[in-house]
Amino acid sequence: MTLAAATHGFLSPTGVEIAFLLVGLVTFGAALVTVTTRQLVHAALWLVLTLGGLAVEYLLLTAEFIAWVQVLIYVGSVVVLLLFGLMLTRAPIGRSPDADSGNRWPALGVALASAAALVWVVVDAFRATWIDLDGAAAGSTAVTGASLFQNWVLPFEALSVLLLAALVGAIVLSRKTKAESSSPPLNSRAATGSSPSVLDSRNHPIERTSPADQEGAL
């Protein structure tokens, strides 16, 4: 055991450990803003910062392949898909009162319970697991590819189908909203007593007036 390893402890962290802690705090703050803001577009942009922070954490853990997958798939694909969904559904740009359902405290309780359950499961599953530092790197391409295509093929394909279903649903909702906005209601025509407008040679609308309106004008 070297002198540096002997003096290293909890009260003497390395530069990598300090950077890991600081990036983790920034990522946690960005995640809180993502779920608490009432502006949907801002939430998507804060999600970019959150996922980017996770990629930096993977780099600090020497898992370069996982870090670039995080950037390419989540930041480069999932967030873009989310922004396309917001545009297709014509989400409001500013503050949206519909984004707050009034169930923040129950949602916070469910989130804390889920986080506690996840931490307990991970700690219980890897309590006696040791990393072989002399073997292949845990975040290398070979180890990650073998684990992904041997043990996690079905969840990977299920996630791709879920994202495709979300995009198709956004397209269906946008087409329905466009069809409803293009046809004016019939009761408004009956109330005003006017007939539908006609387009002239330059495609300008020409309003037709009723006989009663013409007699009143005379």
Estimate the share of the chain in helix, then strand, then coil, as percent rounded to the nearest 5: 70, 5, 25
Amino acid at 105: W
Q: In the predicted model, is pLDDT for residue 1 greater than 50? A: no
Amino acid at 189: R
Instruction: State the DSSP string of 135-179.
Output: SS-TTSHHHHHHHHHHHSHHHHHHHHHHHHHHHHHHHHHHHHHHH
pLDDT band at 104; cut points 50, 70, 90: confident
Q: Per-residue pLDDT tens for 182-195?
A: 655 555 544 455 55
- The domain defined by 15-95 folds into Four Helix Bundle (Hemerythrin (Met), subunit A) (1.20.120)
Whether 188 and 175 have beta carbons less than 8 Å apart is answered as: no
Q: Per-residue pLDDT tens for 151-175?
A: 788 888 888 888 788 778 878 877 7
Whether 152 and 158 have beta carbons less than 8 Å apart is answered as: no
Domain boundaries, the chain: 15-95, 140-172
Average pLDDT along the chain? 74
